[in-house]
Structure 1
Amino acid sequence: MIRNHWSYDILKQMAKEGCSDINELKALFITEIGSQRRYDCIRCVEDLIDCLERADELSEDNVNLLHRMSSNQPKLIDALNGYTPPPAQDRVNRYQELRLAEELREQLRIGAPQVTCATRQTAAPLSAPLPPTQMSTSPAAFTERKRAAVFKKISEELGRFWRRLGRAAGIGEGSMDNIEARFPHDLKSQILRLLQLIEEDDCHDPKHFLIRLCRALGECGRNDLRKNVEQIMSY
């Protein structure tokens, strides 16, 4: 059997498409959901999976809860039986190393004078160069194709709690209110506009935008999407 055929994203999609009775599922996972407020907010399988991931009850390394969803889904059962979590070394890539190196440099610069967007470019030569193993992933690597892939992935997977990402990225409530008023019934457009605001707020510096985006995804509990972004950037 080819055990690496099924990816974690495919397993989640199969669970979303195969489960229909959300109330039954919510009752099944009431302990993992953890609070009445979260319970009431879950209206579909996608919301449930999102909640379980945020609570670290479900991840690419731990798909046990998907087994509990698969009782009436033979195809999902077969896929889970053929699923092997990716080895640890496959979850680390050059872009992740770049992000961590940048965060370390930011910590070391605490207390130093802040540079504005207008002076950032002239100040850049004063910064220490990246180690050779990290120079291969540069702002130039953020092509339009990869940008579109990142935006598409997040807009399709982030879900209704997109404001959490905005807060983690430092976007004001007023700006997010404007997004919701502009696209009142279009979740995907709301998320895409939020990503544009985060990007614009970083003065169109691709490297800084990606670092900020990945950090915000981690802070709002979406490490699965952070890993997806890093994976896109690693190829």
Structure 2
Amino acid sequence: MINMEKYKQLRESFLKISELHIDNITLNELKLKYKYCINSNRTMGYIKDLEFLIRVLEKRTILRYNNIEPLKYISTQYVKDPALDLILSKYDTEIKTMEYSPFYKSCSQQSVTMVESRLPQSTALPTYDPVELQTQYDPVPITGSSFNKKEQIQRKVFLRISEELGRFWRDLARHLNIRESEIDAIESQTNLDLKNKAYEALKIFASRSDDDSWKSDLLRALDNSRRKDIREMVEKHLLFQDK
């Protein structure tokens, strides 16, 4: 994948420049900043250098090829090298331009279509467009065979969250690594109420999440948004669904 190759090159350049500026004191500060995201004292103990921290953030999906906010934070707060800032800014712009270009979206859709053609009808993949905002969500119960178990659970959970969040949906969206431009685009939809805005943000999150991490990422984001009441509700729902 071109995007991942670009990201690997960026990570290599970032580490080459940054490691000269990150001593043990700074590393410990960074570990404390991301302690809640890492969520493991054992893993915290294993982090002895910047590269290992970066790998852990990638594992936790806090850092991704299309979300380099942790790298930008480390660069601006600790490294303070204009050359590195420029490298990160250029990469960020290129990735966003690529993701929003018609060619990129067309290729992405073709990839989904190729996978769908090899699957039974009942397990066809859903199509998500993170920049195409729909005006309403449909609260009709899920009964069709086109929804697999993951999608059924996600939709029920997202509807419950949307009903409870209210005006705090923007905070949750940020903790789900949704871009400010996307949040603003949702906010600008004057025909959407708060529930629908929250649901649109969750749909964007779903389009970028995977089967293994979406639950933990969502629960962590609710905690970080200081909505532990909703987190507990969602956690109980997920535990019930997994039985």
Q: How does the TM-score come out when normalised to structure 1?
A: 0.41
Q: How does the TM-score come out when normalised to structure 2?
A: 0.39
